[in-house]
Homo-oligomer: A and B are copies of this chain.
Amino acid sequence: MRIAVLGTGMVGQAVATRLAEVGHDVVMGARDAGNEKARAWAVQAGGRSGTFADAAAHGELVVNATSGAGSLAALEACGTANLDGKVLLDIANPLDFSQGMPPRLSVVNDDSLAERIQRAYPDARVVKSLNTVNASVMVHPEAVPGEHHVFICGDDAIAKQTVRGLLAEFGWPAPSVLDLGGLAAARGMEMYLPLWLAMMGALGTPTFNIRIVRGS
């Protein structure tokens, strides 16, 4: 599949590399066509790089792997026509580091970054997933032993199924993907981040995840 990965940071690199590895035709998008990190990635991974608009024009599916604070600007740079009708996998978190550590969430309670994106691009088919784990765990779930879970939500069932396919390619067993329903569930998935950060601090590693255990 032709895939755009927006974002050149740790998350964008990890996801773009893994997507190329499993056989997708990936363009990494950055603000500037000459972005060094995107160019270096393209050389190393055998993909291509370009502007956000270049990447989005290429992709049948678009992955938002930008920082949450920059997501709406990155999508604006893509242009509505390059997003309409496409599956838009949002894996970003609306973290605001402007007031120091730990970061605040810039969206809470009645809204989420995913829903903001959906409202800004009503013809994109937004799916939220993977934002609750570290980049390395996103694309190599076997980095955490045994069963553990990742969430998915969105208002478009076919788009969710498409993303489930990618998750399976990354190595997520189907029963490890918990569907939380419509895109409003992104609120909970994003508001989990402060607990994730506290756990990371207590555990001393970002390489962990949660396993959901049901009672009898």
Residues of A within 8 A of B (CB): 104-105, 108-110, 136-137, 143-148, 151, 153, 178-181, 185, 187-189, 191-199, 201-203, 205, 207-216
The listed residue (B137, B146, B188, B209) touching A198 by CB distance below 8 A is B188
* Total copies of this chain within the assembly: 2
Docked-complex contact B137 and A215, CB < 8 angstroms: yes
B contact residues around A146 at 8 Å (CB) = 213
Docked-complex contact B145 and A215, CB < 8 angstroms: yes
Docked-complex contact B179 and A202, CB < 8 angstroms: yes
Docked-complex contact A180 and B202, CB < 8 angstroms: yes
Report how far A136 CA is from B189 CA in the complex, Å.
24
Pairs of residues from A and B, 4 with the lowest C-beta to C-beta distance, nearest first: A207-B215, A188-B195, A188-B194, A210-B210
B contact residues around A148 at 8 Å (CB) = 211, 213
Main secondary structure of the interface of A (DSSP, over half): mixed
Report how far A202 CA is from B147 CA in the complex, Å.
18
Report how far A199 CA is from B153 CA in the complex, Å.
11
Could you jot down 12 A-B contacts, CB within 8 Å?
Answer: A143-B215, A153-B198, A180-B198, A188-B193, A188-B197, A192-B192, A205-B214, A207-B215, A207-B216, A210-B210, A210-B213, A211-B213
Docked-complex contact B215 and A212, CB < 8 angstroms: no
Report how far A26 CA is from B151 CA in the complex, Å.
41
Report how far A147 CA is from B216 CA in the complex, Å.
14
Report how far A195 CA is from B195 CA in the complex, Å.
11
B contact residues around A110 at 8 Å (CB) = 104
Known contacts A105-B108, A108-B108, A195-B191: does B213 contact A209 (CB below 8 Å)? yes
Report how far A188 CA is from B196 CA in the complex, Å.
8
Across the two chains, which residue of chain B brings its CB closest to A149? B210
The listed residue (B108, B145, B153) touching A109 by CB distance below 8 A is B108
Report how far A198 CA is from B197 CA in the complex, Å.
20
Most B CB within 10 A of own CB, among A146, A198, A211, A212 = A198
B contact residues around A211 at 8 Å (CB) = 148, 210-213
B contact residues around A207 at 8 Å (CB) = 214-216
